[in-house]
Structure 1
Amino acid sequence: MGLAIGSMKVGFAYLVDGELMDWKLSIDASQSEEAAFDQAVEWIGYYRLDVLVLEDPEHSRKGNNSLLLHRAVMRAAVAAEVRVILMAQHPDGAPNKYARAAYLANEFPQIRPWLPDPRRVFDQEPRNIVLFEALSLCWRWWKATGGSEEEELGEIAF
């Protein structure tokens, strides 16, 4: 499962053998560390995760609130004895997150209805983009490793 934290939203994408099985978005989980922790515990338990892929905060431009939520999710994963993989969000050659989302919508047509239009400079970020950020994290890990932690990560061809 990949989990992404955005401004006022937390999203996840759940893959089984490289196939997208489920995805969810939570506004409530972005309201506090406790809410993020509780939501992560719920998702981890429901899907019986063995791996959780998160954005590496060392290579992130996330704000302080997002970093606190990230730590809460990490605590939930550690408490559940789930292996956490930290990945840089954007090393895949996409010009922006909207191009990446469009690419993923083509790879996984079932999530296409949630594909947001690219935002204009003065618009708020669409809430659904966090779903594609989560999918990008777990899918890139899966594609690069085939589900094993032994291989190196590479770029996606856009």
Structure 2
Amino acid sequence: MNTMLVEGPRVLAFAAATGRVGSVFLIGDRLIDWHISNKAAESKVEAAGHAQTLINRFVPDVVVTEDLEAASSKGEHTLSLLSAISTTAAHNGLFDVSVPRKHLYANKYVEADALVEEYPELAPWKPAQRRFYDNEPRNTVLFEALSLALLMRDQA
């Protein structure tokens, strides 16, 4: 796809959860690319390196991450990953927007359903609702990143 034909701000959004970092890249309202990385979740150095690779590849206008102060359900390690990503954006002279994660839906799975309605290309990555004894599905972080990007868009 020729991304030069798509208009609007170039937004790279990141979300982190235990053992994974998700990212989405949008130009305007068009979803261009998405990633989930386990390696980026290993350390702050890996998270920063992953962010730098994606910044170099997509040349975003803005990087979006979750507001660290509002991320009360995130662990210390996960917060350090998000901080490293924000720092990497700043070192690249990019506008870094930290938005509080708003829960506009009953749960993450209802949110994923709604996001797939708007972005059907993500349907294969939509997480199945887990049973109470299962770990959270790996792909929820992808939908969290998209949600953060859309929150930033809606606040602008």
Q: When the two structures are superposed, what TM-score results if normalisation uses the length of structure 1?
A: 0.87
Q: Which of 98, 119, 129 in structure 2 is aligned with 1:86? A: 98
Q: Relative contact order (C-alpha < 8 Å, sep 6+): which is higher?
A: 1
Question: 5+ residue gaps in structure 2?
Answer: 1-11
How many residues end up aligned between the 2 structures?
A: 144
User: Which residue of the partner structure matches residue 44 of structure 1?
Assistant: 55
What amino acid is aligned across from residue 18 of structure 1 in structure 2? D
Aligned twin of 1:68: 80
Unaligned runs of 5+ in 1: 146-158
Counting aligned pairs with the same residue, the percent is 35
Superposed CA RMSD in Å reads 1.0
How many Å apart are 1:48 and its aligned residue?
Answer: 0.3
**CA apart distance, 1:140:** 2.4
1:15–1:139: 8 Å Cα contact kept in structure 2? no
TM-score by length of 2: 0.89
The answer to whether the 8 A contact 2:99-2:151 is kept is no
Q: Report the CA distance between 1:96 and its aligned residue.
A: 1.2
Cα distance in 2, alignment partners of residues 109 and 140 from structure 1? 19
Question: CA–CA distance in 2 between the matches of 1:54 and 1:71?
Answer: 9
Q: Report if the CA contact (8 A) 2:64-2:149 is conserved.
A: yes
CA displacement, residues 22-42 of structure 1 (integer Å, 9 cap, x when unaligned): 101100000011100100010
The structural deviation recorded for 1:144 is 4.0
Moved over 3 A (4+): none
Q: Which AA in structure 2 matches 1:100?
A: E
SS of corresponding position for 1:95 = coil
Alignment of 1:1-158 (within 5 A): 1-60=12-71, 61-91=73-103, 93-145=104-156
